[in-house]
Amino acid sequence: MTSSAAVHPTAVVEPGAVVGAGASIGPFAVIGPEVVLGDGVVVHSHAVITGRTELGARTQVFPFANVGAVPQDLKYRGEPSRLVVGSDTVIREHATLHAGTEGGGMLTRVGNRCLLMVGTHIAHDCIVGDNVIFANNATLAGHVHIGDNVILGGLSAVHQWVRIGDHAFIGGMSGVENDVIPFGSVIGNRARLGGLNLVGLRRANYPREEIHALRAAYRALFAGEGVLATRVAALEADAGDSVLVGRLVAFLKAGGDRAITTPRERETDAE
């Protein structure tokens, strides 16, 4: 532990823990022996960080969060799996983030500049990108992959093995059991596509012509003729130099363990 770290006298920092320069550990916080805290990390009172957990620089952990605990997976047998959280991420009260398992690459990862609001749960072996926002009580089951710039609404839940593409928006109280395309906007129980996340696309400053190309691709994908594989192949052939359509096609071609979330019948407008 560096001499510049500020540790409250009631905090427990177990021998072996690495605490970076300028870090702050509040009253009654507990830091386990294999934890690594980057420079400037702030651990507020009563937070618990255990296991083989690494927090990047300037990340904050608020009271009563539990970060790095063993997974809620009956197959877990004590293997030395890890949890890695990036820089400038905020983990709010009562959030739970669990380490990985042998069946998922031994790693759970959360990216940079994420906001994980009260009661967020990130299960074992999840991979979460950068600039992601989880509203209160958003929940991921095991092995979920979340792209960059994704927003999960409050009380939403994502089924295990689901992939959610970049810039997708998940409405509050949604149950997501199938993959969500990049830039998609879904809501409902079970969640169905309601169009593209146009607000997110505009906030990200994508050019108007790129958004128009993506809207056309969305309509072709979900209102076109033939099976899904045929429509994806047609999208790829017609994508030209559109970056957004290219990313959509790449997501679809990569495949996964779950089906693709689709619109309800006749709901194929991209708005």
Which of these is catalytic: 20, 38, 111, 125?
A: 125
Q: How is the beta sheet containing 184-188 ordered, strand by strand?
A: 6-7, 24-25, 42-43, 60-61, 90-91, 115-116, 133-134, 151-152, 169-170, 184-188, 191-196
Which of these is catalytic: 98, 121, 124, 159?
A: 124
For the chain, what percentages of helix, strand and coil (3-state, to nearest 5) are there?
20, 30, 55
For the question of residue 142 being annotated catalytic, the response is yes
> How far apart are the C-alpha atoms of 78 and 241, rounded to whole Å?
48
CB 175 within 8 A of CB 156: yes
Q: Which of 188, 189, 187, 184 is nearest to 221 (CA)?
A: 184
Residue 236: Cβ-neighbour burial (10 angstroms; 0-12, 13-18, 19+): middle
CB 232 within 8 A of CB 252: yes
Which of these is catalytic: 104, 111, 119, 142?
A: 142
**Residues constituting the chain:** 271
> Which ranges of 98-242 does DSSP label H, i.e. alpha helix?
198-203, 208-223, 228-238
For the question of residue 125 being annotated catalytic, the response is yes
> How far apart are the C-alpha atoms of 254 and 245, rounded to whole Å?
14
Active site residues: 124-125, 142
